[in-house]
């Protein structure tokens, strides 16, 4: 979610002057997104930075830079604890909400330690010909083992819990666990008793959840807004506070496919989740931070007039070498170049807004971008997130506000002044495809 996505999403939602929910937060800044070994980052290394407070290498989760991609030989002694883990150790309730696999890079950094983000199950590891050392556990196994210490788990990726070489079926194990309420669709989620003291788990898809544009017509999946609402209501029952991580991961998928119509409608759905978090919390006691792990090579321009469609054409006075009109939206690379090569506007071939968009260079998947991403925040200590900062600061500020981890003994923790009862890290995560 780079600045262009925030701006374009706002315009699509309600016009250029619209103030989105994330815009309404009190403070804003910029976050540097590079990995230890990559200028343009991947989502695993960035998730480790903002969820654990340590920058790692690309494709690794919950470990420092001593661990190299696909090599687990050096993982002992080089793992790092996440804010979620520290919050739970301090007696707070914790939760994870995502529209992707629960095993995907961003949510997985909250609970797993691995040399490769693509090891969703033991089957994934067995099929990886580039695996150097298999001393790591697969991510689904780590999720199952961590689940007694996670109060709310909402997302997709159910197939990785069940289709395993070791014969385990973690979904069935949770069904049989008397301390767990597990749901599989929107109707079941809406009927759940949030006051019964049980952990709440929801797996709403074998794979990723559907795009918002398809969700209502094709599925019985809950919206990100609904999942966020239920999670906050469940976690806020703890008088000691809570930590919640919310990810709108399908924005990334829309951009990787060079389908801006889908990506920007995902942004709108995400902003509704931000609005729900604002509605359900007290700004005086809850730190809300909204950001991204990285940007995309997405932009918009073309001197479009005020009120024009983002998915239409720019101004006709823009000079081009072939005298063709320019589109408002553009991608630096992606799968759309070949589809529209040598196709001119006189042929009536304006791109279908729900399909792949023209790109400047053909690639199988549109890539991440390396520039800084915005962060928006409100609540106790939110002012610390202003300016230009390293991505690790997001985790540090959450710990500082919650008085956990390295900041458990700060002056404001003992005095009780300006203490954040809760921290909600609401993030747009940009996810790579694994085929």
- Whether 213 and 323 map to the same domain: the answer is no
- Whether 265 and 320 map to the same domain: the answer is no
On whether residue 140 sits in a domain, the answer given is: yes
For CA atoms 70, 74, 76, 80, give the dihedral sign.
Answer: negative
Structure tokens belonging to residue 405: 């981890």
Structure tokens belonging to residue 54: 């340590």
Bridge pairing between strands 373-378 and 27-32: antiparallel
pLDDT the model gives residue 11 = 98
Q: Which residue has the tokens 């696909």?
A: 70
pTM of the model: 0.94
- Say if residue 106 carries a ligand binding annotation: yes
The residues that are catalytic are: 43
On whether residue 306 sits in a domain, the answer given is: no
Residue 433 has pLDDT above 50, yes or no: no
On whether residue 308 sits in a domain, the answer given is: no
Closest CA to 288 of 391, 410, 421: 421
pLDDT the model gives residue 414 = 81
Largest CA distance in the chain: 70
- Whether 324 and 214 map to the same domain: the answer is no
pLDDT the model gives residue 355 = 80
On whether residue 307 sits in a domain, the answer given is: no
Residue 428 has pLDDT above 90, yes or no: no
- Whether 100 and 236 map to the same domain: the answer is yes
d(Cα 374, Cα 395) in Å, to the nearest integer?
Answer: 15
pLDDT the model gives residue 339 = 77
- Say if residue 177 carries a ligand binding annotation: no
On whether residue 304 sits in a domain, the answer given is: no
- Whether 216 and 289 map to the same domain: the answer is yes
Last residue of a domain, one of 366, 383, 406: 366
Q: What is the 3-state secondary structure (H, E, C) of the chain?
A: CCHHHHHHHHHHHHCCCCCCCCCCCCEEEEEECCCCCCCCCCHHHHHHHHHHCCCCCCCCECECCCCCCCECCCCCCCECCCHHHHHHHCCCEEEEEEEEECCCHHHHCCCCCECCCCCCCHHHHHCCCCCCECCCCCHHHHHHHHHHHCCEEEEECCHHHHCCCCCCCHHHHHHHCCCEEEECCHHHHHCCCCCCCCEEEEECCCCCCCCHHHHHHHCCCCCHHHHHHHHHHHHCCCCCCEEEEEECCHHHHHHHCCCHHHHHHHHHHHHHHHHHHHHHCCCCCEEEEEEECCEECEEECCCCCCCCCCCCECCCCCCCCCCCCCECEEECCECCHHHHCCCCHHHCCCCCCCCCCCECCECCCCCEECCCEEEEEECCCHHHHCEEEECHHHHHHHHHHHCCHHHCCCHHHHHCCCCCCEEEEEEECCCCCCC
Q: What is the dihedral of CA 98, 100, 106, 112, to 10 degrees?
A: 90
On whether residue 305 sits in a domain, the answer given is: no
On whether residue 131 sits in a domain, the answer given is: yes
pLDDT the model gives residue 424 = 63
**Domain hosting residue 31, numbered range:** 3-297+370-428
Q: Give the pLDDT confidence of 228-267 residue by residue, as tens digits.
A: 999 999 999 999 999 999 999 999 999 999 999 999 999 9
Q: How confident is the model at residue 427 (pLDDT cuts 50, 70, 90)?
A: very low
- Say if residue 104 carries a ligand binding annotation: yes
Q: Give the pLDDT confidence of 328-337 residue by residue, as tens digits.
A: 999 999 998 9
- Whether 70 and 170 map to the same domain: the answer is yes
pLDDT the model gives residue 1 = 78
- Whether 330 and 414 map to the same domain: the answer is no
- Whether 172 and 242 map to the same domain: the answer is yes
Q: Give the pLDDT confidence of 337-361 residue by residue, as tens digits.
A: 987 765 555 545 566 777 889 999 9
- Whether 247 and 174 map to the same domain: the answer is yes
The count of domains in the chain is: 2
Instruction: Calculate the average pLDDT of the chain.
Output: 92
- Say if residue 208 carries a ligand binding annotation: no
On whether residue 434 sits in a domain, the answer given is: no
- Whether 319 and 200 map to the same domain: the answer is no
pLDDT the model gives residue 434 = 23
Last residue of a domain, one of 341, 366, 391: 366
Q: Give the pLDDT confidence of 16-59 residue by residue, as tens digits.
A: 999 999 999 999 999 999 999 999 999 999 999 999 999 999 99
Q: Give the pLDDT confidence of 196-229 residue by residue, as tens digits.
A: 999 999 999 999 999 999 998 888 999 999 999 9
pLDDT the model gives residue 316 = 81
- Say if residue 293 carries a ligand binding annotation: yes
Q: Any idea what the CATH number is for the domain that residue 26 is in?
A: 3.40.720.10
pLDDT the model gives residue 431 = 27
- Whether 234 and 193 map to the same domain: the answer is yes
Average pLDDT over residues 178-190: 98
- Say if residue 256 carries a ligand binding annotation: yes
pLDDT the model gives residue 170 = 99
- Say if residue 296 carries a ligand binding annotation: no
Q: Give the pLDDT confidence of 114-160 residue by residue, as tens digits.
A: 999 999 999 999 999 999 988 899 999 999 999 999 999 999 999 99
Give the distance from CA 429 to its chain's centroid: 3
Residue 292 forms beta bridges with which residues? 428
């Amino acid at each position: 979610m780079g600045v262009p996505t925030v701006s374009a999403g706002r315009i699509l939602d309600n016009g250029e002057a619209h103030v989105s929910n994330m815009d309404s937060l009190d403070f804003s800044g910029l976050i540097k997104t590079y990995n230890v070994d990559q200028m343009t980052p991947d989502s695993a290394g960035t998730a480790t930075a903002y969820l654990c407070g340590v920058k790692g290498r690309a494709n690794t989760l919950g470990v420092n830079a001593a661990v190299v991609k696909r090599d687990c030989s050096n993982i002992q002694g080089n793992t790092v604890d996440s804010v979620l883990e520290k919050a739970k150790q301090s007696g707070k309730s914790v939760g994870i909400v995502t529209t992707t696999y629960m095993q995907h890079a961003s949510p997985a950094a909250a609970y797993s330690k691995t040399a490769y983000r693509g090891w969703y199950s033991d089957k994934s590891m067995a099929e990886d010909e580039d695996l150097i050392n298999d001393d790591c556990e697969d991510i689904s196994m780590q999720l199952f083992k961590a689940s007694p210490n996670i109060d709310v788990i909402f997302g997709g990726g159910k197939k990785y819990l069940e289709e395993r070489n070791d014969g385990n079926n973690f979904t069935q194990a949770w069904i049989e666990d008397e301390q767990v309420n597990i749901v599989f669709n929107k109707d079941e989620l809406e009927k759940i008793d949030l006051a019964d003291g049980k952990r709440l788990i929801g797996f709403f898809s074998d794979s990723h959840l559907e795009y918002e544009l398809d969700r209502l017509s094709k599925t019985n999946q809950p919206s990100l807004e609904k999942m966020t609402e239920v999670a906050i209501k469940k976690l806020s029952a703890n008088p000691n506070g809570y930590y919640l991580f919310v990810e709108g991961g399908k924005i990334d998928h829309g951009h990787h496919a060079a389908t801006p119509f889908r990506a920007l409608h995902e942004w709108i759905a995400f902003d509704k989740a931000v609005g729900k978090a604002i509605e359900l919390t007290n700004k005086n006691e809850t730190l809300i931070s909204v950001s991204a792990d990285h940007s995309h090579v997405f932009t918009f321009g073309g001197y479009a007039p005020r009120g024009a469609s983002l998915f239409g054409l720019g101004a006709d006075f823009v000079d081009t070498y072939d005298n063709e009109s320019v589109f408002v939206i553009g991608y630096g690379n992606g799968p759309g170049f070949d589809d529209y090569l040598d196709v001119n506007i006189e042929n009536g071939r304006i791109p279908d807004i729900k399909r792949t968009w023209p790109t400047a260079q053909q690639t199988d998947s549109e890539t991440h971008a390396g520039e800084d991403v915005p962060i928006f925040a409100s609540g106790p200590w939110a002012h610390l997130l202003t300016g230009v900062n390293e991505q690790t600061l997001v985790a540090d500020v959450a710990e500082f506000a919650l008085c956990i981890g390295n900041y458990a003994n700060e002056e404001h923790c003992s005095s009780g002044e300006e203490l954040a009862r809760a921290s909600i890290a609401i993030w747009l995560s940009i996810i790579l495809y694994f085929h």
